[in-house]
Amino acid sequence: MRRFLLVTALVPLAACNAGGPTVTATNASEAEVKAKVAAATGDADMISPGRWEGTMTISDMKMPKLPPEAQARMAGRMGQPRKFVSCVTEEDVKAKRAFFTGDKNGDKSCTYSRFTMGGGKIDAAMSCKSEGGDMNATMTGNFSSDSYHMDMASNTDGNSPYAAMSMKMTVDGKRTGACRGTEDKE
């Protein structure tokens, strides 16, 4: 499930100025892509700070190593939007922490086979290798400093029930105003 979180962590913070610079990378590490984005955006803010609200809708998920009853519960949740709320602070924006934070445990190595961002569009494919298994993911969508729409797909392999899975989802988010200080409780 941690690999799933890596992909979703990219989304709320992938928004940048739609009229801003273009970034293209091939066979690049997360650090290389982060450096290219930072160089292309310079001192410009990538996203607007504040309260971000959105929905994540999983349209397809297969976890063949789960017991049948768990698979049936998952199938019952398909297509139901799940709401999320986050707060992006001024500090996050200035530190450009909002993009490509990577795995905080440092136990995987990720490479973007392709990464293109510009003109309000993003198209990326990455693969990550870790002791628990490998993940491949794609992300395409539209963004601005105040909203985004992303279509994502991922598949993983490995030995645990959560490691062997494939998933397709759509994530939509928008800035709705100032942070309220309650985002972590919602």
pLDDT band per the 50, 70, 90 thresholds, residue 10: very low
Maximum Cα interatomic distance, the chain, rounded to a whole number of Å: 51
Output the pLDDT for position 98. Answer: 47
Residue type, 114: R
State how far the Cα of 185 lies from the Cα of 164, in Å rounded to an integer: 31
Sheet order of strands, 23-29 included: 23-29, 108-118, 121-130, 133-143, 147-156, 165-177, 50-62, 82-88
The C-alpha atoms of residue 144 and residue 131 are separated, in whole angstroms, by 36
pTM for the model: 0.78
Q: For position 125, what pLDDT does the model report?
A: 96
CB 158 within 8 A of CB 134: yes
* pLDDT reading at 39 higher than 80: yes
pLDDT band at 8 (very low <50, low <70, confident <90, very high): very low
Q: What is d(CA 5, CA 114) in angstroms, rounded to the nearest whole number?
A: 20
Are 128 and 135 a contacting pair, CB within 8 Å? yes
Q: Residue 150 in 3-state DSSP?
A: strand
Asked whether 168 and 153 are in contact (CB, 8 A), the reply is yes
Distance (Å, whole) CA 46 – CA 12: 12
Strands 50-62 and 165-177 come out as: antiparallel
